[in-house]
């Protein structure tokens, strides 16, 4: 029943994509390569932008979407997937595209407001009805018998945010050292029975397959699960501390210039910052940047203490320390 409801949600997306293929060729075609949980957000936003673009320029634009784990998506773009724009989970993945594919400048993050992140999000816990394991904070995740669902940080941006939030919490416990934080993470991953490649896969694992007691989830994905399953089947638990996720967006200059889509790609991303774009963002449970729109949706979002990537020395350092070859994740993770 649960799986059927999720499938029924995907069906219109598939139908839409099919009809887009069948439709008459548009003046422009954009490919937005994004991370896993943004399917529904960009489905709505793309329709709004296409309407806006036609109204302002008289031209039609077709936007195709590609979704997967953020790191995996970045790898695909480096390997030649012709993305006009990338909208990924974290800046490091776009930095990797800039460094390896040389298809956009190194200073890409300064080209749009708010470090090119039109919205923010954070990490929360999703637990079963009634929270039978009594999970309230990060410390509860390492208790014996607690099964934790999180994706693979090697491929998923959301998983990297999860990992850093857990690390940050562990380091802020009384008497904590790097060794105790490392031990905490070792115990946490010992409680993870399966690593999906992306956040949407983990949602399937937790929600559709009924595996695990707690799911370390993007905030928007947690709200979506509650909305889909109905309140009372799963519950959101807000931990004492989490992390400010700033998923960035940018144009892939080399592709857009080659395809002649630079202007429409620029406009597409700027529209994310418009009141209409920000409102769609808020509707899909992402935290808007625009103060007015943020105020409109403020009641949805709990207030909690948030670390930032700067607390970890920036993405380059965090990536090398935690997720690079031989990094902390490699050292502590033992496949179940």
Partner 1 sequence: MIARRSWAGVFIGLLPVASAFAQAADVAGLQRRLEEQEQKTAVLERKLEIQDETARAALPNTPVIKAGPKGFSIASQDNANVIRFRGLVHFDGRYYLDDAGLGGSDSWRTQRVRPTLEGTLYNFVDFRFMPDFGQGRTVIQDAWVTGRFRPDFQVTAGKFKSPVGLERLQSASDIRFQDRGYPTLLAPNRDLGLQVGGNFLKDALTYQVAFLNGSNDGGSSETFTDADVSDDKEWALRLFSHPFVNSGNFYLRGLGLGVAGTVTDQKGSNTQTLLSSFRTPAGQTFFSYRGAAAAAGATPASNAAIQDGDRVRITPQLYWYAGSFGLLTEYINVETDVSRQATAADPVRSDTLDNSAWQVQLSWFATGEEETYKGFTPNSVFTLGGPGWGALEFAARYQELDVDDAAFDGGALSFADPAKSASAADSIGVVVNWYLNQNVKLGLEYEHTSFDGGAAGGADLNDENALLTRVQLSF
Point out which residues bind partner 1 (CB under 8 A): 147, 193-197, 201, 205, 209-211, 336
Angle subtended at Cα 238 by Cα 194 and Cα 292, rounded to the nearest 5 degrees = 120
The nearest distance, CB 151 to partner 1, in angstroms, is 10
Can you read off the two tokens belonging to residue 144? Answer: 């014996």
Looking at the Cβ atoms of 210 and 313, the one nearer to partner 1 is 210
The nearest distance, CB 103 to partner 1, in angstroms, is 20
Looking at the Cβ atoms of 203 and 242, the one nearer to partner 1 is 203
- Residue count of the chain: 336
The beta strand positions in the chain, using DSSP E, are: 28-35, 61-68, 85-87, 119-120, 123-128, 148-149, 214-218, 234-237, 241-243, 249-251, 287-288, 305-307
The whole-angstrom separation of Cα 247 and Cα 294 is 16
The nearest distance, CB 20 to partner 1, in angstroms, is 22
CA distance readout (Å), 79 to 42, 74, 293: 23, 9, 38
Looking at the Cβ atoms of 48 and 211, the one nearer to partner 1 is 211
The nearest distance, CB 232 to partner 1, in angstroms, is 20
Looking at the Cβ atoms of 205 and 261, the one nearer to partner 1 is 205
Report which secondary-structure segment, H or E, holds 22: helix 2-22
Q: How many CA atoms lie within 13 A of 76 on its CB side?
A: 19
- Name 33's bridge partners: 66, 86
Looking at the Cβ atoms of 79 and 303, the one nearer to partner 1 is 79
Can you read off the two tokens belonging to residue 217? Answer: 């989830």
The nearest distance, CB 253 to partner 1, in angstroms, is 25
**Quick check: 21 and 62 in contact, CB under 8 A?**
no
Looking at the Cβ atoms of 13 and 81, the one nearer to partner 1 is 81
The nearest distance, CB 77 to partner 1, in angstroms, is 15
If one counts every other C-beta atom within 10 angstroms of the C-beta of residue 224, the result is 22
């Amino acid at each position: 029943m649960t799986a059927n409801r999720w499938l029924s949600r995907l069906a219109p997306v598939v139908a839409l994509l099919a009809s887009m293929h069948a439709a008459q060729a548009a003046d422009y075609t954009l490919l937005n390569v994004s991370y896993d949980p943004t399917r529904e957000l960009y489905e709505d936003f793309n329709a709004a932008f296409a309407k806006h673009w036609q109204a302002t320029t008289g031209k039609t634009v077709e936007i195709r979407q590609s979704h997967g784990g953020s790191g995996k998506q970045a790898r695909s773009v480096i390997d030649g997937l012709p993305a006009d724009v990338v909208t990924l989970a974290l800046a490091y993945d776009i930095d990797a595209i800039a460094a390896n594919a040389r298809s956009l400048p190194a200073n890409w993050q300064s080209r749009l407001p708010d470090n090119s992140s039109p919205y923010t999000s954070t990490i929360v816990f999703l637990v079963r009805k009634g929270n039978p394991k009594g999970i309230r904070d990060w410390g509860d995740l390492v208790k014996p018998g607690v099964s934790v669902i999180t994706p693979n940080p090697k491929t998923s941006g959301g998983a990297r945010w999860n990992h850093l939030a857990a690390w940050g919490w562990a380091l802020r416990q009384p008497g904590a050292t790097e060794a105790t934080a490392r031990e905490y993470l070792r115990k946490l991953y010992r409680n993870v029975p399966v690593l999906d490649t992306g956040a949407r896969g983990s949602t399937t694992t937790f929600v559709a397959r009924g595996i695990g007691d707690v799911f370390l989830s993007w905030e928007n994905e947690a709200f979506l699960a509650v909305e889909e399953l109905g309140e009372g089947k799963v519950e959101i638990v807000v931990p004492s501390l989490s992390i400010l996720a700033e998923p960035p967006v940018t144009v892939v200059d080399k592709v857009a210039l080659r395809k002649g889509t630079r202007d429409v790609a620029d406009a597409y991303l700027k529209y994310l910052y418009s009141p209409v774009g920000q409102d769609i963002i808020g509707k899909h449970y992402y935290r808007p940047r625009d103060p007015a729109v943020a105020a409109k949706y403020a009641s949805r979002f709990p207030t909690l203490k948030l670390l930032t990537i700067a607390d970890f020395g920036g993405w380059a350092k965090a990536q090398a320390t935690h997720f690079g070859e031989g990094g902390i994740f490699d050292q502590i993770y033992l496949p179940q």
